[in-house]
Structure 1
Amino acid sequence: MLTLLNTLVDKTHDVELNYVAHEQSQGRTQAANAGLLCATGEFSIFLDDDDYFDPSHISKLVQAHISVFQDNNILGAVHCRARAVHIDGQGEEQLLSLQGGPLAKDQLFYQNLMPILTVLFPTRVRELGTTFDDSIDLFEDWDFWLQFNRVGRFHFIDEVTCAYRIHLNQSGAQEQAKQEAAYETIYNKWLPSLTHKELTLLLAKTHQWHELRVAALQDQNTKELSRIGDLHSFALKTIADKDQDIAHLTRIYQRVEKECQEKEAALKSEKKKNLDYKHYQASLRKEEREIQRLRRPHPLYFLYRCGKSAIHFCRNIFKRHN
């Protein structure tokens, strides 16, 4: 783990690494407190090991914090939205929902709308006694935000710049019982700090917040269905275009194949003509040789001429002697 962190830090020279390792696991709250205690920067933010930030996540939160809180001397935290995702069997990331949103007054007593990786807060809150409660092992971040809510203010920016993974195998009855016990722990700790009037107003608003939450989820689902529909339409159009391309390429292939066949047939014809021409030339040469042979005098013809000349010579001699 340390080797991996050092490798990452080597690629980002402006990041200072302070790695704290416990010999034995001490739970989420102890780990969070250890990290907060060792933090030296002006701001702090938490990230679980299976979640991730987009490259612009921290910079956008810091810019928003400077813009909203720097000039008015208010202790503030900035939070945004996060993608709740699931990794399917093929290793592909699937979007389940968007988490996070603006907080209404006292809404934090009813529900936690801020995944821990979405909140950037001043590190100096630890000097004000805001730390993680060691007795809480689930929803410990919710308790931390309630503590911060007593001394500071939250500001929401409508950006989605991080993601956290939801493990679908953790939705059984045992997990549900743990969550119910954690809700009871939070409510027992914080609701007594409210007056009767505040509790009454809180109870009245819970119905409204629940309806708003359901409406927001429905809106997300509608947008996601619309996006899926658009992707489906695009896929159908792409398939139709590809089919047209395939048909066009098929026609081109058939035309080229026909041309190749015609050229091959023409080539065979030319080869046959060339072969016939060679045979014709060979035949002509043979006939020419035969004619030349016939034109040459026969050896007996020379003997005949010689014999005839000899007879004529002898006759002339004979005549001279007589």
Structure 2
Amino acid sequence: MSEKSESRTNKLVTIICRSIGRTHLKIALDSISAQSYKPIEVILINSSEKRLENILPLDVQVTVLDQPTPLSRAEAANAGIDAANGSLLLFLDDDDYLSNDHISNLASKMSSDSSVRAVYSGTQKVTSDGEILDQVYSTDFDPILLMRDNYIPIHSMLFDKSLIDEGCRFDPQFEIYEDWDFWLQLAQKTKFLHIPNVTAYYRSGGDSGTTLSDESEKYDPESKISKARAQIFEKWKTQWTGSNINKLIGQSYNELARHCDDLNTQLKIIGEQYDVLKTDLNKVNADYENLNRQKAKLEEELAVVGSYLQESLAKISDLEVEVKQRVTTEKHLRLHEAQLQTSLNEILSSRSWKFTSPFRKARTLSKTVLKVLSFHNTKTHAQKAGVEKTNNIISKNKSRE
């Protein structure tokens, strides 16, 4: 089906954009212009003093309602509703934006079930710069849960204008949670369908006043959030039946019971992990003590080795000194030897040495003869002494006889 013929069969969707002139408005309008669904009109409630014509998309019909005085969020929403021409309505604040198929998905889902007059998608939370955060708003519809919390971002919901004709309006008494009150009104007249697909983007740091620093802030009597919630309950407490309130209490009880079960399971797991860690710690402590003993032993051995090393180094130092001395002495001896050898060579090669050679030989021969004679004389004297000793012994024996 061509876009032109599809436009003839689709219902006109009015997107009501409440703006206080924030810089992200152009991104919001561009996301409307990029919608695959046609036809769309935009009712732009301008509560700022800025001129917005230069940022308006050219391919979408935009009606700008400049306000002489700033409107509250509820008043701006009602002004947009009153100016809407479409059969289907959707709100988009000027700091949020949509994916290209957001309207198409919601309108298609609504047309598939004639009993449904409100459909909402999943919504992704992003930073002020558009970076994706972990938080996604995508809870299935539960009218009892809606009594307790607002879990549906305003730009995620497409709803039929017939609900407006039946009296649903934004309540000006609410400065915060005006959209929650509006959803409670719609839920009295139709069931909601939820599409889990994320096609809407909620920028953190807006002016809705519903941002929580801590969950407990919702129940702190002094907090702005807590007071706004109390204001919602004050309005609706007379319209909720005893059965509704009992279901709300039962749902809260069951949720708390599940949470307690989860905590008990986690506590059991933590206890088991603690036992394992305790065993591991005991082993680590034992290993630590063993390592300390080994360390002490090694330190003792190291001390002995260190002492031996010092002694060895001292001996090495002494040996090095001695070696140096011996090397020096050897050098001197070699030099002296060389000098003596030179002198000897000179003597041996001289004429006087050659001339006196016979005399040296005769001297050597005479020394040899003298040694022989000396030995012979020594032997002769010994023999004489032996003969005399023998004669003395014989004489003594004869005298005894």
Match of 2:119 in 1: 78
Normalised by the size of structure 2, how large is the TM-score?
0.47
- What are the residue-to-residue correspondences of 1:13-162 with 2, within 5 Å? 15-69=60-114, 74=115, 76-87=117-128, 91=129, 93-162=131-200
Q: Distance in 2 between matches of 1:104 and 1:23?
A: 40
Q: Could you tell me which amino acid in structure 2 is paired with residue 21 of structure 1?
A: D
Q: Which amino acid aligns with 1:40?
A: N
The CA deviation string for residues 183-218 of structure 1, in whole angstroms up to 9 with x for no partner, is 101111112222323312211102445788999xxx
Query: In structure 2, which of residues 57, 81, 101 is the aligned counterpart of residue 9 of structure 1?
Result: 57
Q: Deviations over 1:129-163 (max 9, x none)?
A: 10000101101000001111111221111110011
Alignment of 1:212-223 (within 5 A): none
Partner SS for 1:136: coil
Task: Give, in angstroms, the shift of residue 30 of structure 1.
Answer: 0.4
Matches of 1:140 and 1:214, distance apart in 2: 33
Does structure 2 retain, via aligned residues, the 8 Å contact 1:109–1:191? Answer: no
Aligned counterpart, 2:234: 188
Q: Which structure has more RCO (C-alpha within 8 Å, separation ≥ 6)? A: 1
C-alpha distance in structure 2 between counterparts of 1:135 and 1:19, whole Å: 25
Aligned length: 205
What TM-score does the superposition give when structure 1 sets the normalisation length?
A: 0.57
Asked if 1:165 is matched to 2:203, the reply is yes
In structure 2, distance between residues paired with 1:22 and 1:201: 43
- Percent identity of paired positions between Structure 1 and Structure 2: 29
Answer with 1 or 2: which has the greater Rg.
2
Q: In 1, Cα distance between the equivalents of 2:204 and 2:153?
A: 12
Unaligned runs of 5+ in 2: 1-20, 22-49, 262-401
Which digits, 9 at most, give the CA deviation of each residue in 1:163-189, with x for residues without a partner? 111129965699971110111011111
Structure 1 unaligned blocks of 5 or more: 216-322
User: Which has the larger share of helix?
Assistant: 1
Q: Deviations over 1:70-107 (max 9, x none)?
A: xxxx35100011011123xxx46131300132112422
Instruction: Write the distance in 2 (CA, Å) between the matches of 1:23 and 1:83.
Output: 34
Residue number in structure 2 paired with 1:201: 247
- Read off the aligned partner of 1:154 and give its amino acid letter: F
In structure 2, relative to structure 1, the CA distance for the partners of 1:92 and 1:61 (3 Å cut) is closer
Determine if contact 2:73/2:175 at 8 Å carries over to the other structure.
yes
Describe the SS at the equivalent of 2:65: coil
- 1:124 CA drift (Å): 2.5
Indicate the SS of the match to 2:127.
strand
CA distance in 2, matches of 1:212, 1:161: 30
Displacement of 1:109 in angstroms is: 0.9
